[in-house]
């Protein structure tokens, strides 16, 4: 268990980013992200990391999921693909690997999150296809 620290909760269904206080437990992260498993979604050059629901895309086969991405034109980030469901941005002590307060500010994170809206997932012989639902069109992401 790591020490209590702050993090930023990204909620694409409500298009909100807010500061939360983590108690240092994995269970608390699961509760905030509303998931059973999480994985690395994206990593920034300063060690800050976005964790996402590891099964977020799979949930889109049965109900709409909400997507977001990080605007890679504004910041260097490890992944440019859409991310599904609630997420947490957490800092990292590179020397020890321990979770810490993020180095990024809440205002900066709000500037670089791009809301992509609801989507569904189609599962077929080619694997998973994320279908973005627009007002008039559907686009495979």
Residue 63 included in any domain? no
Residues near 15 by Cβ (< 8 Å), separated by ≥ 6? 115
Residue 139 included in any domain? no
Instruction: For the chain, 141 residues long, give each residue's pLDDT as a single digit of tens.
Output: 578 899 999 999 999 999 999 998 899 999 999 999 999 999 998 999 999 998 877 776 667 889 999 988 788 777 677 888 999 999 988 888 889 999 999 999 999 999 988 887 777 766 666 666 553 334 444
Yes or no: say if 113 and 17 are a contact pair by the CB < 8 Å rule: yes
Residue 124 included in any domain? no
| CA 103-37-9 angle, 5° bins | 35
Q: What's the confidence (pLDDT) of residue 129?
A: 66
Residue 132 included in any domain? no
Residue 99 included in any domain? yes
Range of the domain at 109: 5-57+70-114
Residue 129, Cβ neighbours under 10 Å: how many?
A: 14
Nearest to 15 by CA among 109, 138, 136, 139: 109
Yes or no: say if 117 and 66 are a contact pair by the CB < 8 Å rule: yes
Residue 121 included in any domain? no
CB burial readout 55-83, b (16+ within 10 A) else e:
ebbebbeeeebbbbbbeeeebebeeeebb
**Alpha carbon distance 97, 17 (integer Å):** 25
């Amino acid at each position: 268990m790591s020490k209590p620290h702050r993090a930023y909760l990204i909620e694409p269904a409500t298009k909100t980013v807010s500061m939360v206080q983590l108690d240092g437990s994995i269970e608390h992260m699961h509760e905030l992200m509303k998931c059973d498993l999480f994985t690395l979604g994206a990593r920034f050059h300063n060690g800050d990391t976005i964790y996402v629901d590891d099964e977020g895309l799979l949930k889109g086969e049965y109900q709409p999921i909400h997507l977001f991405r990080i605007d890679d034109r504004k910041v260097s980030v490890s992944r440019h693909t859409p991310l599904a469901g609630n997420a947490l941005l957490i800092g990292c002590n590179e020397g020890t690997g321990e979770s810490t307060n993020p180095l990024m500010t809440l205002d900066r994170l709000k500037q670089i999150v791009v809301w992509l809206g609801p989507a569904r997932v189609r599962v077929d012989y080619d694997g998973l296809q994320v279908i973005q639902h627009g007002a008039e069109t559907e686009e495979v992401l």
